[in-house]
Structure 1
Amino acid sequence: MNESPVAAPQAVPTPTHVEPEANTRFSRLRERADELELFISGLLAFALLAVPGYLFDAWARSSLHTEGMYFQLLWFAFSTVVGMCYVLAVALIAHLTVRGYWIGLVGLKSHFPEGIDWAALQKMGPVSRAFLRARDGGLDSSIQRADRLATLLFSTTLICVQTLAGTLVLAMVTLAIAMLIAFLAGGSDQVAMAVVGACLVSLLALAFVPFMLEKAIARRHARGRPSEGLERALQRFLAGMQRVPLLRLMQTMQLTIQSNLRSRSFMVGYLLAIGVAMVLAAVQVAGSVKFSLFNRYQVLTEEAVDNGMLSAHYESLRSTHDQLLAYPMIPADTISSSRLRLFIPHRPQRDNPLARRYCTALPGGENSAEGAPAARAAVDCLALIWTVTLDGKPVNLADFVPFERRDLEMRGLVGYLPLQGLAPGRHDLYLVWHAQGERTGPDRRREYRIPFWYTPDDSKD
């Protein structure tokens, strides 16, 4: 008895309209992506170049009032955000340039669909024409390459910004925890730095966990031994990392670019961009402190000017360029009145460590007195750190008083030096901070010379 053959199960037909519809939606989305890239780049590129200036002003004002971990916290936040702004702005300007080139190519394609008419280039020699023609990919190839480069620039920029933002958040949380532990331990910066170091080592160790587990699993497989436990541990670790929103957000974009380009080259460029971003803030600060980062002054050297006149010493001559130079100051380079106002700034970052060493009347270098004794204690302490002479004669700082200068965003000591009996003409103030200090290091001896001209006859005009 012949059995009728059993019909093979037929596959469920896939609706034919799904793929074309999805492709249509993607095409429309792709066209919109180019427009959105241009809109975002144009909106942010040049606006971001102005942000570091505002951030620098805010940081400069705040950094003068802090020390220790508070200073480190401000510095890391400032340097990261400034670097993020510069990297993002430069990358977006480059993206605008490439995307503009792409638009130009698309316009040429619409008017000259055949591309270069090599036959019309009669004035070009046959060898040059043949060489260039063999290496020309045509408008379509150029459009595709420009489009690809613009998209890669835009996506890589976003990855760098996300990395810097994540680093900033992580560092702020780590520093906050370290400062809290240090506060509970008595306010020791050494404890805070130890906590920060332990956190950084732990984070670096976490980054190597997947690599080490994969190596261990591979070794067990090579020996024919089971590795289910290690695999489950690795999967749990990766699942835990996936709970970090920023890592999950970066993963698809980063791995897509990394897998479609040379992985090592991408990682080198990516890490280089992050490193450059972290250095840019230091360059901006150095540019504010230095008269010029790049110069060829062979006669009027920095040493010569330090022993001459600096605008930072004269309130009437100071500018925004002198914002970070918290130097001793007098009103102007010419003085007509009978007394000279001398303002000596107090910088917690420098003065507080010395106060803890020399000001034995202040337990731990902290002035806890109230009323008039608080002012007296502050003057007595800073008088141990500063020495002042006028034309070689010592100036007694006991008559100085604490002064809060809202116009300069500084606190310090102010004294009014009598000028009666001085001859008209040049006179020199000489101030030394930490005269017992070494030649190098943060607590090194620092000298300030302030020449001025006494012109008593001008007040009578």
Structure 2
Amino acid sequence: MNESPAAEPVVPGSHAEPEQEASTRFGRLRERTDELELFISGLLAFALLAVPGYLFDIWARSSLHTEGMYFQVLWFVFSISVGMCYVLAVALIAHLTVRGYWIGLVGLKSHFPKGIDWDHLPQMGPVSRAFMRARDGGLDGSIQRADRLATMLFSTTLMCVQTLAGTLVMAILILGLAMVVAALSGGSDTAALIFMGVVMAGLLVLGLLPAMLEKSIARRQARGQSTARQQRMLQRVLGGLQRVPLMRLIQTMQLTMQSNLRSRFFIVGYMSAILVAILLGGLQVAGSVKFSLFNRYQVVTEEAVDHGMLSAHYESMRSAHDQLLPYPMIPSDTVSATQLRLFIPHRPQRDNTLARERCTQLPGGRNDARGAAAATAAVDCLAQLWTIQLDGKPVDLHAFVPMERRDLDMRGLAGYLPMAGLAPGRHDLHLLWNADGPTRGGDRRREYFIPFWYAPDP
């Protein structure tokens, strides 16, 4: 009787011993990879869906107080962070779904090792049975495909998050340097934008340089010319890129997937996910500003309510949905007191630009006065930007005072309009910002209509 040769024993201290131990450890780790994926996905997937709401609240409160480069920094941090949360959450939920399907297949395999019993499907005709059988990969094939898809989803998700995180860090650094350049050039945003454009163009060239050098090397080799100089330059560029931690972090994962999948489709899908993630922040902001992104209001249109009643004009009606609408406001749509408080928010992103042009008493649009003079200077400046009428009669803004509203997280001007002499019933406030401004753009002319009903106490 022939005996199979026994496996050669591993001699302690030999070279094969550490290799076998490493293989064993990797095998054990691979057996637990699925558990680790499920644990991470389950822990993060649904929790991340709540994070964008908190980020939006923080950004909305902070953005009302800033302008220029400071606003851009906040916007980059918000948009990329929100996109990162949404992409990670959706991808991890998809991963949980696929991994759950995989678990179901593994369970079926343990109870029905042979898979589908085609002979016990009498309700299926012979043609349909033959067609389905020819295209069915069996439980083993389905388990393998589901496992592969889940792993690909998990790895691609991590790559997208790492790319977005790296983009966020790079954007903050570039914007921070741009702010320094702007400060050194007297607060000019133009200098900051030029600096950002130069840096972004340099980064684009640096990213394309390896491919350009490879093509140059190929052309010179085809002509029989020396390429030693080009190769040294390419190696220096690649060596410099390798010093970027993000590049080293995702390189192995990206090249592994790119080389084992259709390269173009992978790159398109990968970059599309990054682009969608960045756009999600803007979509959330648009959804907050607009009453509804998808609607069929053909009669009560946006133009109609702009000249009717908006909840953002009444403090008693404002909600979280009006957080990004710093409109002039009064306490309520009905007034019974003898004085009506009107609050006009000061929005640096819009007002500061006009203040630099029109408020000649404030050098550079900055109010450097002290004491009561600072309050007077603020009122005099903003009075040049606003025109107010009550029932068609002008209202003097110089009687207003600067006010800080911690409840609204805003600063602005507050004035008390006398109601004595007004007849009970409807009255209209008409406010106009930048009356001589253009019809489009950030500094365009803006009108606000605030109807209210005066009902004095008997």
What's the TM-score bracket when you normalise by the shorter of the two chains?
Answer: over 0.9
- In the alignment, is residue 26 of structure 1 matched against residue 26 of structure 2? yes
Distance 1:442 1:242 in 2: 42
The 3-state SS of whatever aligns with 2:415 is strand
- In the alignment, is residue 198 of structure 1 matched against residue 198 of structure 2? yes
The 3-state SS of whatever aligns with 1:443 is coil
1:418 maps to what in 2?
Answer: 418
1:168 maps to what in 2?
Answer: 168
The 3-state SS of whatever aligns with 2:104 is helix
The 3-state SS of whatever aligns with 1:299 is coil
Tell me, which stretches of 5 or more residues in structure 1 are unaligned?
A: 1-13
Distance 2:374 2:178 in 1: 31
Letter of the structure 2 residue corresponding to residue 345 of structure 1: P
Letter of the structure 2 residue corresponding to residue 24 of structure 1: T
1:69 maps to what in 2?
Answer: 69
User: How far apart are residue 19 of structure 1 and its match?
Assistant: 5.7
- In the alignment, is residue 51 of structure 1 matched against residue 51 of structure 2? yes
Query: TM-score, with normalisation over the residues of structure 1?
Result: 0.95
**What is the aligned-residue identity percentage?**
74
- In the alignment, is residue 156 of structure 1 matched against residue 164 of structure 2? no
Distance 1:111 1:300 in 2: 61
User: How far apart are residue 24 of structure 1 and its match?
Assistant: 3.0
For 1:109-258, what aligned pairs fall within 5 Å after superposition? 109-258=109-258
1:104 maps to what in 2?
Answer: 104
Distance 1:324 1:198 in 2: 33
Distance 1:346 1:22 in 2: 65
The 3-state SS of whatever aligns with 1:456 is coil
1:373 maps to what in 2?
Answer: 373
1:313 maps to what in 2?
Answer: 313
- In the alignment, is residue 301 of structure 1 matched against residue 301 of structure 2? yes
Tell me, which stretches of 5 or more residues in structure 2 are unaligned?
A: 1-13
2:269 maps to what in 1?
Answer: 269
The 3-state SS of whatever aligns with 2:224 is coil
Letter of the structure 2 residue corresponding to residue 222 of structure 1: A
2:86 maps to what in 1?
Answer: 86
Distance 2:405 2:23 in 1: 66
- Could you tell which deviates more after superposition, 426-435 or 21-30? 21-30
- In the alignment, is residue 40 of structure 1 matched against residue 43 of structure 2? no
Deviating 4+ runs (over 2 angstroms): 14-27
Distance 2:377 2:153 in 1: 59
For 1:343-362, what aligned pairs fall within 5 Å after superposition? 343-362=343-362
Distance 1:317 1:220 in 2: 72
The 3-state SS of whatever aligns with 1:411 is strand
Letter of the structure 2 residue corresponding to residue 78 of structure 1: F
Aligned Cα root-mean-square deviation (Å): 1.1
Letter of the structure 2 residue corresponding to residue 296 of structure 1: R
The 3-state SS of whatever aligns with 2:378 is helix
Distance 1:31 1:90 in 2: 26
Distance 1:157 1:230 in 2: 36
Distance 1:400 1:39 in 2: 59
Distance 2:385 2:18 in 1: 80
Distance 1:431 1:18 in 2: 80
The 3-state SS of whatever aligns with 1:430 is strand
Distance 2:175 2:109 in 1: 55
Distance 1:244 1:77 in 2: 21
1:441 maps to what in 2?
Answer: 441
- Could you tell which deviates more after superposition, 221-230 or 377-386? 221-230
Distance 2:419 2:304 in 1: 27
The 3-state SS of whatever aligns with 2:49 is helix
User: How far apart are residue 35 of structure 1 and its match?
Assistant: 0.6
Letter of the structure 1 residue corresponding to residue 50 of structure 2: A
Distance 1:284 1:16 in 2: 58
Distance 1:58 1:435 in 2: 32
Distance 1:307 1:38 in 2: 53
Letter of the structure 1 residue corresponding to residue 261 of structure 2: L
Letter of the structure 1 residue corresponding to residue 263 of structure 2: S
The 3-state SS of whatever aligns with 2:50 is helix
- CA deviation map 1:264-310 (0-9, x unaligned): 00000011001100110111001101111111111111111111101
- Could you tell which deviates more after superposition, 57-66 or 30-39? 30-39
Distance 2:202 2:192 in 1: 15
The 3-state SS of whatever aligns with 1:432 is strand
Letter of the structure 2 residue corresponding to residue 255 of structure 1: L
2:11 maps to what in 1?
Answer: none
Distance 2:118 2:392 in 1: 84
Distance 2:292 2:237 in 1: 50
Letter of the structure 1 residue corresponding to residue 220 of structure 2: R
Distance 1:187 1:346 in 2: 20
Distance 2:395 2:107 in 1: 77
The 3-state SS of whatever aligns with 1:286 is helix
Distance 2:199 2:182 in 1: 14
1:281 maps to what in 2?
Answer: 281
Number of matched pairs: 445
User: How far apart are residue 239 of structure 1 and its match?
Assistant: 1.2
- In the alignment, is residue 390 of structure 1 matched against residue 390 of structure 2? yes
User: How far apart are residue 240 of structure 1 and its match?
Assistant: 1.4
CA distance 1:22–1:403, change in 2 (3 Å): same
2:455 maps to what in 1?
Answer: 455
Distance 2:281 2:229 in 1: 47
Query: TM-score, with normalisation over the residues of structure 2?
Result: 0.96
Distance 2:193 2:153 in 1: 37
- CA deviation map 1:22-49 (0-9, x unaligned): 4432221111111110000000000000
The 3-state SS of whatever aligns with 1:76 is helix
User: How far apart are residue 234 of structure 1 and its match?
Assistant: 1.1
Letter of the structure 1 residue corresponding to residue 312 of structure 2: A
User: How far apart are residue 21 of structure 1 and its match?
Assistant: 4.4
- Could you tell which deviates more after superposition, 17-26 or 279-288? 17-26
Distance 2:142 2:399 in 1: 77
Distance 1:298 1:87 in 2: 34
User: How far apart are residue 387 of structure 1 and its match?
Assistant: 0.4
The 3-state SS of whatever aligns with 2:300 is coil
